[in-house]
Amino acid sequence: MTDALEPEDRIYRRLLPTHYVPDGNQERMRPSSAAFERRPHEAHASCYIDSLLVDNGLQPADVLDGQERLGLVRVGVDCLRDHDRDAAPDPDTDPDKPHKCDPAHGKLIEPTGVSKGELRRGWGRVAQDSRVEILKPPG
């Protein structure tokens, strides 16, 4: 397996209730830019990769196992790349917090050498893209 994902692959990201906002322009609810941003102590924000879920006999709903109050959002790798972002496999191997989807764990990749404001604006463009799908609202 290479780290390069196919453009048609998709990623899943858990969605906190505070990261689910109304979009008046599109007359729908959508994730906020913060839904995709990494936390200050993290090198990358995490995600789960669809092709790796399938390879491991898992379903997208398995991503929420033990986290049922959260929502689930799906984004195509092509959409990420259209906004100068990407994703790559990053299997989670934390023995203190195992999850059945660990083999499908990935990381979101941001451009380097840009300001924090530009990073946030870029994630905002991803969040507003009509190709982003809310599979399950939080709650």
Q: What is the pTM of this model?
A: 0.91
Cβ neighbours of residue 18 closer than 8 Å, sequence gap 6 or more: 32, 34
Q: The domain containing residue 90 runs over which residues?
A: 10-136
- Spell out the per-residue pLDDT of the chain, length 139, in tens: 346 899 999 999 999 999 999 988 878 899 999 999 998 888 899 999 999 999 999 999 999 999 999 999 999 999 999 999 999 999 877 778 889 999 999 999 999 999 999 999 999 999 999 999 999 999 8
> Does any domain span residue 61?
yes
Q: Is 84 left (phi over 0), alpha (psi -120 to 50) or beta?
A: left
Q: How many domains does the chain have?
A: 1
> Does any domain span residue 2?
no
> Does any domain span residue 3?
no
Q: Are 88 and 134 in contact (CB under 8 A)?
A: no
